[in-house]
Structure 1
Amino acid sequence: MSTQALIYLFVGASFALYIGIAIWSRAGSTKEFYVAGGGVNPVVNGMATAADWMSAASFISMAGLIAFLGYDGSVYLMGWTGGYVMLALLLAPYLRKFGQFTVPDFIGARYYSKAARTVAVVCLIFISFTYIAGQMRGVGIVFSRFLDVEVEIGVIIGMAIVFFYAVLGGMKGITYTQVAQYCVLIFAYMVPAIFISLLITGNPVPQLGLGSVVQDGSGMYVLEKLDSSLQAMGFGPYTDGSKSMIDVFCITAALMIGTAGLPHVIVRFFTVPKASDARKSAGWALVFIALLYTTAPAVAAFARINFNQTVDQTEYAQAPAWFKNWEANNLIAWRDKNGDGVMQIAPGAAFEGAPVYTEGGSGNSGERLLDNAATDNANEVYFDNDIMVLANPEIAQLPGWVIALVAAGGLAAALSTAAGLLLVISSSVSHDLLKSTFKPDITEKGELLAARLAATAAIVVAGILGIYPPGFVAQVVAFAFGLAAASLFPAIFMGIFSKRMNREGAIAGMVSGLGFTFLYIAWFKLWNPADNTAEHWLFGISPEGIGVVGMLINFAVAIAVARMTAQPPAEIDRLVESIRVPRGAGAATGH
């Protein structure tokens, strides 16, 4: 069977599985739609959370980031995984004990204010749409390359699939679909990693292969080989970092804190039976996530070695088939600057106006290169980092079924996160704005219909953003973490651990943190990209890490405003106590 036929088979079978699960687990009530009935097993919920979390950015982009950033890419591994420890210890069990459906639910009740709830909804929708646009674009790119359709058609197909299991099944359908998607994506990630580790080092365990000797007779270890080859092409060593310590710290912290404040992740912990299960879910999610995240550095290093060996100093007429395949999608390109017909990789942009890859984004996938070549450097090859994982099996000349598996895995990663984000958006509109704010007398049937209509509208908007992305969409997917850290996390944290925090402080903090972080990002990424250098950054902190400063501003403003305004009512003190103190604590034991 041809590779293309295998791709159709694998992708079609996975889609049939997702839709079948959605039909089987169709939501019949608002509780099932919002939180899957609140009865999901912690292990199952941990697997679903891992799939929800590991988006197209994790599956498709992260190894590409590390492959081309080297040591600097480690901040994403540390931040994204470390955030789950914070989530498990600081937030998950308390929010589950609160026992409601959404993050704005908690903020609205804790801060006894419809205005606070509405501000939280605005923050949530802003973060979620920022994140989801990249997922839908990722779906379009995978379809474009592997199914030979236009990127726009790929996005539309992805919209249709998500519609079935998100709108019909709600959180109940999404939960069990995400379990299947996790199995698909982790298998799709690990199989080629094991193959390539065997080919390069002879070690079948990628994590161990990263520290092994390369099987090319050089006697070098993998990272030594990379350092040597990159330095020969004029790059800095792969194992050296270029970021300042404060920027590394802030990016890592922003990703960690942002993880603990992402609404589509937090809502997963409302789906388990009790508070202790929420902590168990976070622990299982960390285990499932670690399988991919500990493999990513090895995948990145192996991919960069293969890429350098098969492209640099190769005659274009003898270019491998995978190069031509991806070139057709404008995700890799070559311009012969010196007229020798040989592809040469060197520092600098190969093309004037070529999309500049931004750390943490889901990539520049689908954007078209301009025709004029850059003349101030010797680099002749443009390579979109986002295709590294997807192209890796082709570069390593693995069997067709492995290529098909990776295509199915990439789609599973993008669709699972897109579905979770869409549900969060629809729940915020139907439950937090409609039911809890503007139309409290709506029936459960009416609310469920509104939730499905909101999900449908959100899918349409997300699809439009995927088909016609604003120029900055590909650059700001990771900035959703900074926005979450600067807006929702402080309000949730203080809502649990500070009885003195009131509605005025929380609202002022959320608005100031979100406003500062968004304006800082917009200044360097939208309005003045030419100034996006360390000498122009505040305290040397890049836009990727500025969410930490936004968070500190949020805390400072919230505390100051709370001190100058009235204390929360007595019932809020009792609510905070009920969230923080285990049931039965302090009761007589009879001994």
Structure 2
Amino acid sequence: MDQYTLNLLVVGASFALYVGIAIWARAASTSEFYAAGRGVNPVINGMATAADWMSAASFISMAGLIAAVGYNNSSFLMGWTGGYVLLALLLAPYLRKFGKYTVPEFIGDRFYSQGARIVAVICLIVISVTYVIGQMTGAGVAFSRFLEVEISTGLYIASAVVFVYAVLGGMKGITYTQVAQYCVLIVAYTIPAIFISMQLTGNPIPGLGLFSDHTASGQPLLTKLDQVVTDLGFAQYTAATSPWSMALFTLSLMIGTAGLPHVIIRFFTVPKVSDARWSAGWALVFIALLYLTAPAVGAMARLNIIDTIYPNGPENEAVLYEERPDWMRNWEVTGLITFEDKNGDGRIQFYNDKNEGFAAAATERGWAGNEFTYNNDILVLANPEIANLPGWVIALIAAGGLAAALSTAAGLLLAISSAISHDLIKSTINPNISERSELLAARISMAGAIVLATYLGLNPPGFAAQVVALAFGLAAATIFPALMMGIFSKRVNSAGAIVGMLVGLIVTAVYLFTYLGWFFIPDTNMLPNTADNWLFGISPLAFGPIGAVLNFASAYIVSGMTQEPPEEIQELVESIRVPRGASGATGH
């Protein structure tokens, strides 16, 4: 059986499974559409949360970012997992005890203000739309290669699949679909990693293989990788940069994780308050299975790519372009790999031509500039082909990449549609709407969100994990502070919450667009994205904590200058935090 047919069968079978689950778990009420009827077992919810969380950024882009940069990008791992600790300890059980369906609903009721609810809806939509771009981009990348279609066609197919199971099933259908998607993606991610770890180190456990000896050279794998990348003018793979920048970026990812609406609403689906905390714990366990493997996948992919270009080592001649391996030919079709023969020798010169210190050595070898470029997003998807693994493994990684992208996209789209139907239409525009009409509005909102996500996926502002990092910064600066103050401060009032969220949103967005403006609007005169131009050296992708501090400060200052919240609101805040009777809380 040829590879295309195998890919089609495996991906098609996984899609049929998702649609079948959606039909079986079709939502029949708003409670099932928004919160799966609040009857999800915490272990099941933990697995669904892990799938919701492990997006295209985690499955496709994270290992690529680690491979491209090395040790410094381990901050993605630390920040994203650390965020779940914050969720488990500070947010999930208290929000579940409050018993609402959506994040804006909690903010609107806690701060006794429709204005606060609407501002929260705006923040939620900005965050979720930004985040979903990466998922649609990831789905397009996977489709374009493995099903041999245009990226745009892949996006349309992915959108159609999400439309069926998300619009039909709502949170109920999405939950059980995500359980299936988790199983697909974790198997798809782990099996190729085991094969490649065995090939390179003889160790079947990728996380241990990363610290084992490289079979061919006898050196520790990371020592070998450091050697080959520095021989080509790249930075040492294990080198670290500024601890301040790394800590700030990690913190941005942590509090951004704890403020992501599509993650938070998963904790509204369990029967009891204690189950919310257990769900977060189980989610960490399921996430760890992939996250402990990702650093090894990144390092081994980087080494494999260099070995395919310089089979006899970087000190010797590169492979002839006409004799390039099949995996390069396959991925060139997608446009995500390019080659330009700058010195006319017919060989693939791959090195860091931006390294001024390496320029003399490159000239001496007759190199006239780097000739080979690849998109970091391809590394996980291409890894089985690079390592010449069996065809069924390649098909499996295709299904896994699509499962990761679609599972998170569905969660994000549900968060958007719930905010529109429940927080805008039901709570603001038409409070007397019937449950049947609200359910219809939720499904129409979901369909509209899918159309918007597809359009943005066709015109993405960057590769998946970069775009996702922007969403984290916005979530860290807006939703997270509002939830924390709503739970732990009786003094913050509606005016303070509204001003805080607006300050966090505007300041963070302005900073991001100022330094990443070229990312969204090419050919503008915005400031270039370099450390020399950043305010106090703070990367735009690490600005979330600064926005959060400004949010907190603005909210407390305004609250201190205005009237205290009503007595019943202060009592409500107190009741949320007190554990008495929590085990019996069921919400509404």
Map 1:306-325 → 2, pairs under 5 A: 306-312=304-310, 313-325=318-330
- TM-score by length of structure 2 reads 0.93
**Deviations, residues 492-529 of structure 1 (Å, cap 9, x unaligned):** 00100000010000000000011000000000111556
The match for 1:383 is 374
The offset of 1:476, in angstroms, is 2.7
The match for 1:119 is 119
Map 1:278-289 → 2, pairs under 5 A: 278-289=276-287
The match for 1:457 is 448
Unmatched tracts of structure 2, length 5 or more: 311-317, 356-365, 518-523, 583-588
The match for 1:291 is 289
Query: Is the contact between residue 55 and residue 414 of structure 1 (CA under 8 Å) also seen in structure 2?
Result: yes
Instruction: Pick from 278, 298, 301 the counterpart of residue 300 of structure 1.
Output: 298
Query: Is the contact between residue 260 and residue 472 of structure 2 (CA under 8 Å) also seen in structure 1?
Result: yes
The match for 2:341 is 336
Distance 2:251 2:423 in 1: 29
Distance 1:34 1:428 in 2: 10
Map 1:129-168 → 2, pairs under 5 A: 129-168=129-168
Compared with structure 1, are the counterparts of its residues 118 and 530 closer, same or farther at alpha carbon in structure 2 (3 Å cutoff)?
Answer: closer
Compared with structure 1, are the counterparts of its residues 530 and 339 closer, same or farther at alpha carbon in structure 2 (3 Å cutoff)?
Answer: farther
Task: Give the letter for the 2:473 counterpart.
Answer: G
Query: Is the contact between residue 133 and residue 456 of structure 2 (CA under 8 Å) also seen in structure 1?
Result: yes
Task: Give the letter for the 1:560 counterpart.
Answer: I
Query: Is the contact between residue 202 and residue 215 of structure 2 (CA under 8 Å) also seen in structure 1?
Result: yes
Query: Is the contact between residue 322 and residue 391 of structure 1 (CA under 8 Å) also seen in structure 2?
Result: yes
The answer to which of 336-345 and 500-509 deviates more is: 336-345
Q: Secondary structure at the match of 1:4?
A: helix
The match for 1:578 is 575
The match for 1:365 is none
**Deviations, residues 454-473 of structure 1 (Å, cap 9, x unaligned):** 00111111111112335798
Query: Is the contact between residue 343 and residue 368 of structure 2 (CA under 8 Å) also seen in structure 1?
Result: no
The match for 1:359 is none
Distance 1:81 1:476 in 2: 18
Query: Is the contact between residue 483 and residue 517 of structure 1 (CA under 8 Å) also seen in structure 2?
Result: yes
Query: Is the contact between residue 185 and residue 399 of structure 2 (CA under 8 Å) also seen in structure 1?
Result: yes
Task: Give the letter for the 2:6 counterpart.
Answer: L
Query: Is the contact between residue 155 and residue 454 of structure 2 (CA under 8 Å) also seen in structure 1?
Result: yes
Distance 1:239 1:471 in 2: 26
The match for 2:421 is 430
Compared with structure 1, are the counterparts of its residues 16 and 471 closer, same or farther at alpha carbon in structure 2 (3 Å cutoff)?
Answer: closer
Compared with structure 1, are the counterparts of its residues 236 and 543 closer, same or farther at alpha carbon in structure 2 (3 Å cutoff)?
Answer: same
Task: Give the letter for the 2:512 counterpart.
Answer: I
Query: Is the contact between residue 246 and residue 540 of structure 1 (CA under 8 Å) also seen in structure 2?
Result: no
Query: Is the contact between residue 137 and residue 464 of structure 2 (CA under 8 Å) also seen in structure 1?
Result: no
Query: Is the contact between residue 130 and residue 473 of structure 1 (CA under 8 Å) also seen in structure 2?
Result: no
**Deviations, residues 507-561 of structure 1 (Å, cap 9, x unaligned):** 0000001100000000011155653111211121100100111011001111100
Query: Is the contact between residue 201 and residue 215 of structure 2 (CA under 8 Å) also seen in structure 1?
Result: yes
Task: Give the letter for the 1:241 counterpart.
Answer: A
Q: Does 1:558 align with 2:555?
A: yes
Query: Is the contact between residue 26 and residue 170 of structure 2 (CA under 8 Å) also seen in structure 1?
Result: yes
Distance 1:214 1:470 in 2: 38
Distance 2:150 2:235 in 1: 37
Query: Is the contact between residue 137 and residue 463 of structure 2 (CA under 8 Å) also seen in structure 1?
Result: no
Distance 1:49 1:302 in 2: 28
Q: Does 1:274 align with 2:275?
A: no
The offset of 1:100, in angstroms, is 0.6
Where in structure 1 do 4 or more consecutive aligned residues deviate above 6 Å? 471-474
Distance 1:137 1:340 in 2: 35
The match for 2:542 is 545
The offset of 1:39, in angstroms, is 0.7
Distance 1:170 1:179 in 2: 14
Distance 1:525 1:241 in 2: 24
Identity of aligned residues (%): 65
Distance 1:311 1:454 in 2: 49
The match for 2:223 is 224
Q: Does 1:72 align with 2:72?
A: yes
Map 1:252-263 → 2, pairs under 5 A: 252-263=250-261
Query: Is the contact between residue 133 and residue 467 of structure 2 (CA under 8 Å) also seen in structure 1?
Result: no
Distance 1:348 1:547 in 2: 33
The offset of 1:477, in angstroms, is 2.5
Query: Is the contact between residue 534 and residue 541 of structure 1 (CA under 8 Å) also seen in structure 2?
Result: yes
The offset of 1:376, in angstroms, is 11
The match for 1:499 is 490
Task: Give the letter for the 1:337 counterpart.
Answer: K
Query: Is the contact between residue 62 and residue 465 of structure 2 (CA under 8 Å) also seen in structure 1?
Result: no
Compared with structure 1, are the counterparts of its residues 472 and 404 closer, same or farther at alpha carbon in structure 2 (3 Å cutoff)?
Answer: closer
Distance 1:500 1:469 in 2: 41
Query: Is the contact between residue 116 and residue 494 of structure 2 (CA under 8 Å) also seen in structure 1?
Result: yes
Q: Secondary structure at the match of 2:214?
A: coil
Distance 1:139 1:106 in 2: 32
Compared with structure 1, are the counterparts of its residues 377 and 128 closer, same or farther at alpha carbon in structure 2 (3 Å cutoff)?
Answer: farther
Query: Is the contact between residue 472 and residue 525 of structure 1 (CA under 8 Å) also seen in structure 2?
Result: no
Q: Does 1:89 align with 2:89?
A: yes
Task: Give the letter for the 2:548 counterpart.
Answer: M
Task: Give the letter for the 2:188 counterpart.
Answer: A
Q: Secondary structure at the match of 1:512?
A: helix
The offset of 1:273, in angstroms, is 0.5
Distance 2:226 2:373 in 1: 21
Map 1:348-497 → 2, pairs under 5 A: 348=353, 378-469=369-460, 475-497=466-488
Q: Secondary structure at the match of 1:107?
A: helix
The match for 2:520 is none
Distance 1:528 1:178 in 2: 43
The match for 1:234 is 233
The match for 2:350 is 345
Distance 1:309 1:34 in 2: 50
Compared with structure 1, are the counterparts of its residues 547 and 239 closer, same or farther at alpha carbon in structure 2 (3 Å cutoff)?
Answer: same
The offset of 1:349, in angstroms, is 7.0
Unmatched tracts of structure 1, length 5 or more: 351-374, 586-591
Q: Secondary structure at the match of 1:336?
A: coil
Compared with structure 1, are the counterparts of its residues 236 and 475 closer, same or farther at alpha carbon in structure 2 (3 Å cutoff)?
Answer: closer
Compared with structure 1, are the counterparts of its residues 302 and 149 closer, same or farther at alpha carbon in structure 2 (3 Å cutoff)?
Answer: same
- TM-score by length of structure 1 reads 0.93
Distance 2:465 2:207 in 1: 29
The match for 1:535 is 532
Distance 2:403 2:354 in 1: 32
Distance 1:120 1:558 in 2: 14
Distance 2:243 2:512 in 1: 20
**Deviations, residues 284-306 of structure 1 (Å, cap 9, x unaligned):** 00000001001000001111111
The match for 2:192 is 192
Task: Give the letter for the 1:195 counterpart.
Answer: F
Map 1:33-44 → 2, pairs under 5 A: 33-44=33-44
Compared with structure 1, are the counterparts of its residues 584 and 43 closer, same or farther at alpha carbon in structure 2 (3 Å cutoff)?
Answer: closer
Query: Is the contact between residue 79 and residue 256 of structure 1 (CA under 8 Å) also seen in structure 2?
Result: yes
**Deviations, residues 203-232 of structure 1 (Å, cap 9, x unaligned):** 00001101100110x220110000010111
The offset of 1:338, in angstroms, is 1.2
Task: Give the letter for the 2:335 counterpart.
Answer: N
The offset of 1:4, in angstroms, is 1.3
Distance 1:207 1:473 in 2: 24
The offset of 1:395, in angstroms, is 0.1
The offset of 1:124, in angstroms, is 0.1
